[in-house]
Every structure is written in C-alpha cells, then in structure tokens.
Amino acid sequence: MRAISVASATLLAATALTLAAPTASAAVADDTETNNNITSFGFRVTPSTIAAGGQVTLSVDGCEGDAKVTSGVFDDAHIPAGQQSVSTQVFPDAKPGAMYEVTFDCKGETGTTDLTIATGRPTSHPTSHPTSHPTGPAHRGVKAGVGGSLGGFDLHEIALGGALIVGTLGTAYYWTRRRTGDGKS
C-alpha cells in the first residue's frame, strides 16, 4: 500500500512539472521569433570580435543598391552599389567586453549582427581613417547579455514555477501522510 501512495505522489509531482514547462519554452520561442534576421541580401562584419580602435570589414552580398551600415561603435559607413565591402575603424574608446549591434540597410531592408569588443588594444592604428567620432549619443546602444542561465525569465515566472512545485510537493506529502494514517487505525 505504501508503494502505491509514493507512486501517486511522484506522478502528481511529475504532472505539475510538466504543466509548468510550456510557459518557459513559450518565452524562449518568443525571443527567437522576434530575432528572425532573414534578409534578401547577405551581410557580415569581419572579424566579429575586435579590440577597441581596430579595423573591421563590413560586407554585403546581393544588395542591388547602395548599402548603409550603422552602429554605435563606429562612424556610419556607406557601401556603394557594385562594391561588396568597406573597412572602418572601431572607436578607440569602445568598452572592452561589450557587444554592439551593427545594422545593414539595403534599399530599406535591414538586417543586424553583433560586433564584440575584445580586451586590449590593436598593435597599430591605421592612418587612413579618423580616430575621432561625434560626441553625441550612440546611434544604437550596447546589446547586453541575458544574465546567464536565467535569460528570458523574469522573477514572476520563477516565483510562479517555484510556488507550483512547492504546492505540488506539499499536497503530495499531505496525501501520502494521510493515507498512511488511515492504514494504522
């Protein structure tokens, strides 16, 4: 009789955990759907990780017109029609370890990618590109991380999930103890 009550409690706990899981996976699915970055043209930043003050190459493939590339970490760049790439210098005061969003615009269609600033400084500074930049606010801010393993969840979701688990385990314990008490009489 004891084995049946333990099996019932285990099944109840497993059911509660299963019912709590769709909420978490739905939150992750919403993030991936909004970050859908499919365009009719290809684009890339090479290298994708660079030291502050370093030089990156901005490239587009399949863009029939002029392309404009913007970011908060370098001056706006222009890739003329018929040309596939242009080089630009990252601001020397870019924050090491930060991730900046780079936006490519081809005839009104946009796509984004990330550029990470590595620690350290480049060994040489190119002289063909200016090292100063406007003192106004950045076009796009730093794209920060999502906080490790808790990314995508807020405190309300975590508290609700914890309350469901504790409630389920408490109910299972209560019914297990109650059944055990009935058999002793």
User: Over its length of 185 residues, how does the chain's per-residue pLDDT go in tens digits?
Assistant: 566 666 676 776 677 666 665 554 444 444 434 445 788 889 999 998 999 999 999 999 988 889 999 999 999 999 998 899 999 999 999 888 889 999 999 988 999 999 999 875 554 444 444 444 444 444 455 555 555 555 566 778 888 889 999 999 999 888 888 766 555 54
Distance CA 44, CA 84 (A): 11
Distance CA 25, CA 6 (A): 29
Q: Which of 99, 27, 4, 91 is nearest to 56 (CA)?
A: 91
Q: What is the pLDDT of residue 136?
A: 44
Other Cβ atoms within 10 Å of 94 Cβ, number: 23
